A and B are shown apart, each in its own frame.
Chain A
């Protein structure tokens, strides 16, 4: 009952609650889940402490192929700790962290990448002064030749960058321009295209829309949806319930390091999601904001 995207072959009970979902309108055919159909990533009762500070306690979530799992929470709710555990920057202290069914503990981001988990950070997604094509392949550069003549395969790097970005619908003037000259949304999108190209099965997005305007946010959310349609499992970290509700299939709410709720899309409305996030207190103002966002 958690499937929200049409066009993905998954675990049967496809929900019908997608009519109001403006972004999933076309049914781009994409591979569904893994053969087994189990979650790509599963956290069960995971906790993390920094000394005597409880950063995260008893958090559980599942990431399925072709689905977007949203993690919502205010500042200090433990979102970044959660993302760091999934992406291999930190290790959890208790609970279980399974990747494709296997208990795992990631030592560093490279290990996470090797297991198919790619993370796109809000502010450290790219190296601004480097050309787009160097950024695209950073850390996984293709080479030709051997021995002392082993060198970057520059023509392939340029051509691939341009082709992959076009495939995501990003039409770049010049792959040689420093990536810092692109807009914030474009940079996020390059990072997403990159993760897909390198065969990520799980894409973790840290506040991809936080610093963006409304239009740019829409662009990024479109690429997030495109990643889902490519069959990736997506974890979308955000503090914006409106953005989450536009694309999300499951919603995990964090509050002060613990889970405040876990909902599949058909079980919850945007109003309810917003109310839970705000704790009801600022509901008036938030519903006002909501009106404006929709308008």
Chain B
């Protein structure tokens, strides 16, 4: 009942001496990826001549991964995977362009229908997860294979070939292109609109994670689902919401894909990209087991991707080395992250 109360609760606690700013910094999930990003940047800045003058292209490459890496990171913090995220981007692009072409509709109608279809697929993933209780790895592997088949099968069936027809002469194409695939020159820097989408999503996701009830719930359902449910967190709604978030980002990415290439979309595209997103999130400090990570970390993970991808081109290496580089980055970043986290928690 009466326990030991300190004489003065407001006085700084003498046990807090060790929590120096450095240790606070070490406790951040992004730290490993920041160190990695600086190292990769310096490396290519030194060995690749045109790297520094092409930062706009580097950022563009990073943004195409980053738009998806952010919601995928949120999903991983919430304790789940989405292996279908890569082909879902292609599905979103195919839906818009084929709907607009076949129905001779305004391109914006196709874009809107695509949003509904993509959200429905995201909902399906989340719904199957909570209904069956199976691991999300299995559920979304199923969705991945089904979408992969349906993307190619339906495109062949509807358009006769494996790619869609161009829709750049159709109504609404130009205005939609401005939103999803335009660029503005700022001095010599070519600012692509995807970079703005990327930054916007990072800010939004960080706000949600750190300052809203949903963010608290995302950490909780990933960290300890049963405890979260027991204190009244709507676990099912949170998980479905996370899959819908991935769907919205896949829709944005898909529209970018479509509007960068006049509406011509290769139906077999997108396979393997889901691993890029997951790798970016993991490099950014997300735990595979859930409950830990950040949106900013995922953005930095995507930045490392962009730098490696373009840096290897500018260094005039064989572009296949990108994969080797990426695998090495993933291992190093993960080892660094877990080392840093253990140290930080021990220091507390």
Q: Measured between alpha carbons, how far is A32 from B6 in the docked complex, in Å? A: 29
B102 within 8 A of A: no
Contact string, A76-117, partner B, CB cutoff 8 A, digits 1/0? Answer: 000000000001010000000000000000000110010000
Verify if B186 is at the interface (C-beta below 8 Å from A): no
- Chain A 243-279, CB-CB to B under 8 Å as 1, else 0, gives 0000000000000000000000000000000000000
Does B318 have its Cβ within 8 Å of any Cβ on chain A?
no
Considering the complex, give the chain B residue whose CB is closest to the CB of A171: B6
CA distance A169 to B4 in the complex (A): 6
Q: Is the CB of A124 within 8 A of B348?
A: no
A173 closest partner in B (C-beta) = B15
Question: By the criterion CB–CB under 8 Å, are B213 and A143 in contact?
Answer: yes
**Bound CA span A169–B2, Å:** 7
**Given A140-B232, A181-B345, are A152 and B1 neighbors across the interface (CB < 8 Å)?**
no
Q: Answer whether residue A49 sits at the interface, using C-beta atoms and an 8 A cutoff.
A: no
Q: Is the CB of A151 within 8 A of B212?
A: yes
Q: Is the CB of B230 within 8 A of A127?
A: no
Asked if B219 and A129 make an inter-chain contact with CB atoms under 8 angstroms apart, the answer reads yes
- Assuming the A-B contacts A28-B1, A138-B220, are A173 and B231 also in contact, with contact meaning beta carbons closer than 8 angstroms in the complex? no
Among the listed A124, A130, A141, A143, which residue makes an inter-chain contact with B230, where contact means beta carbons less than 8 Å apart? A124
A174 touches B348 (CB 8 A): yes
Determine whether the beta carbon of B345 is less than 8 Å from that of A141: no
Q: Is A150 an interface residue (CB 8 A)?
A: yes
Total inter-chain residue pairs, C-beta < 8 Å: 107
The closest CB in chain B to the CB of A27 belongs to: B1
C-alpha spacing A130/B230, complex, angstroms: 16
Contact of A134 among B5, B6, B216, B232 (CB under 8 A): B216
Known A-B contacts A28-B2, A124-B227, A169-B5; A113 and B232 likewise in contact (beta carbons under 8 Å): yes
Interface membership of chain A positions 153-185, coded 1 if the CB is closer than 8 angstroms to chain B and 0 otherwise: 010000000000010111101100110010000
- Measured between C-beta atoms, what is the minimum distance from A203 to chain B in Å? 13
Q: With an 8 A cutoff between CB atoms, is B184 at the interface?
A: no
Q: With A and B bound together, what is the CA distance between A152 and B214 in angstroms? A: 10
Evaluate contact between A139 and B19: CB separation under 8 angstroms: no
What separation, in Å, do the CA atoms of A23 and B223 have in the docked complex? Answer: 35
List residues of chain A with CB within 8 A of the CB of B345.
178, 181
Which residues on the A side are within 8 Å of B175 (C-beta)?
none
With A141-B213, A170-B3 given, is the CB distance from A109 to B230 under 8 Å? yes
The reply on A67 being an interface residue by CB < 8 A is no
Q: Which residue of chain A has the shortest Cβ distance to B224 in the bound complex? A: A127
Closest to A153 in B: B211
In order of increasing CB-CB distance, the 3 nearest A-B pairs are A169-B3, A139-B231, A139-B232
Q: Which residues of B are interface residues toward A (Cβ below 8 A)?
A: 1-6, 9, 13, 15-16, 19, 207, 211-213, 215-217, 219-220, 223-224, 226-233, 291-292, 345, 348
Interface pairs (27), CB distance under 8 Å: A28-B1, A87-B230, A109-B232, A110-B232, A124-B227, A125-B227, A127-B224, A129-B291, A130-B219, A134-B220, A138-B227, A138-B231, A138-B233, A139-B220, A141-B213, A143-B213, A152-B213, A168-B3, A169-B1, A169-B4, A169-B5, A171-B4, A171-B5, A173-B13, A174-B16, A174-B19, A174-B348
Q: Which residues on A are within 8 Å of B, measured CB to CB?
A: 23, 26, 28, 87, 89, 109-110, 113, 119, 121, 124-130, 134, 137-141, 143, 150-152, 154, 166, 168-171, 173-174, 177-178, 181, 222, 225-226, 229
